[in-house]
Structure 1
């Protein structure tokens, strides 16, 4: 199932008001860890899957990437990306992640940030990414952590005074579709275990270089006290893999 909630006007307007939508990468709690996983981007051809507003595309060019292709299914996201981008070496294309069909060895680096938990067949996408990477090319991805996606409710267990007591985890081994709420809208995500993510990459021909379960940086925690609870359970899973 290919979702395009971001072209719904109400959903898009709410998304556009999120801190990471306004502040870019520096407002993203996991960015400091994701950036550390990226290889040198100078003179590289880069593909960004689920590029959204193009923040990672712009960063790649700031690091002297030779060319960047940003793929997203949402025309509203891409339209905004084009408005805030002034760089002919960045090519934004409207395309579902599931439908990518690039030539063999077209890219040196593939990035995907918080998009692949919306994709039903992660294994098939891994195969397509492996195909379009050069030998030794790097695939860096972030997804919502399986501890976060296991229950469709994706919410805390609250005490009688509304206090957040703990984050419940159930049905972890029951992989598949989760209909959940995001920005007050029904959204479909796909829950997978950490083992499934890792093994799909290995089966596609990747070597796993590093995993990360980041917390917000101390700088962000100092600025945003409401992020303190994000240190109590993982919300993101980051994986760095290299094509064999």
Structure 2
């Protein structure tokens, strides 16, 4: 099965770099703080970062005391940046699709992924492989685009007033899981929509216990500084989940 590697497209890569360099982006303000709030103490841990991108998180994990961090990504361009900007003696970067982690040797105390799972076609298969790669009492912490967002396939997501102000979100085809195509820097970017219950039930079926979920929203302080994010009061952009592989009782 072919895996999408949109990040090695030059146009997409340059556009994505520009967004991530903007400190006001939603990842920095909402997604990353929520993701890191769910992490356990990293000292002495072995960590697998799925879709590690530029390796920014990998470096933070290593600096927080992780014993070893393996960052994998399908994009050679992303990993080239990671090797230059975020190298560390406790980090190894590997060019590998996350769908192929069954090829890795050894297990991990913690598996982390930031905004990558919605690009994976067979989520159930991936979650099973992650469960198998975790040590007993290990954790999976991940973020993804919220299902309220992944259900859309083009068109205006908002109902607006006469002045173009957003009044409320238009929800369409939420209950229909499957592939969606969108335009983000380039045409035909593929994402995969799954309902909230489908995501959670796949985790449970694989053997995980759900520890905590966050749908990050802006606090008043952030809205005062960045009023453009008031739209998030209508719907969250991200879903952040912590799940555990509990040791089975003898």
Please classify the TM superposition score into its range, dividing by the shorter chain length.
over 0.9
Total equivalences in the alignment: 243
Paired position in structure 2 for 1:168: 170
List alignment gaps of at least 5 residues for structure 1: none
Which residue of the other structure, out of 186, 209, 212, is the alignment partner of 2:211? 209
SS in 1 for 2:30: coil
Within the alignment, does 1:43 sit opposite 2:54 as a pair?
A: no
TM-superposition CA deviations, 1:28-78 (whole Å, max 9, x none): 422221111111111000000011111211111121000001111011111
User: Which structure 2 residues correspond to residues 32-71 of structure 1 after superposition, within 5 A?
Assistant: 32-71=33-72
Paired position in structure 2 for 1:151: 152
Distance 2:89 2:26 in 1: 21
Q: Confirm or deny: 8 A CA contact 2:118 2:145 kept in the other structure.
A: yes
TM-superposition CA deviations, 1:68-111 (whole Å, max 9, x none): 01111011111111111131211111111111125575100000
Q: Confirm or deny: 8 A CA contact 1:29 1:220 kept in the other structure.
A: no
Runs of 4+ in 1 over 6 A off after TM superposition: none
Paired position in structure 1 for 2:78: 77
TM-superposition CA deviations, 1:120-179 (whole Å, max 9, x none): 111000011011100010000111111111121273233332221211112111000011
Within the alignment, does 1:2 sit opposite 2:9 as a pair?
A: no
Paired position in structure 2 for 1:188: 190
Q: Confirm or deny: 8 A CA contact 1:107 1:134 kept in the other structure.
A: yes
Which residue of the other structure, out of 196, 199, 202, is the alignment partner of 2:201? 199
Q: Confirm or deny: 8 A CA contact 1:105 1:135 kept in the other structure.
A: no
Taking structure 2 as the reference length, the TM-score comes to: 0.90
Distance 2:234 2:226 in 1: 15
List alignment gaps of at least 5 residues for structure 2: none
Q: Confirm or deny: 8 A CA contact 1:44 1:66 kept in the other structure.
A: yes
Q: Residues 88 and 218 of structure 1: is their aligned pair in 2 closer, same or farther, counting only changes over 3 Å? A: farther
Paired position in structure 2 for 1:130: 131
SS in 1 for 2:112: strand
Q: Confirm or deny: 8 A CA contact 1:50 1:71 kept in the other structure.
A: yes
Taking structure 1 as the reference length, the TM-score comes to: 0.92
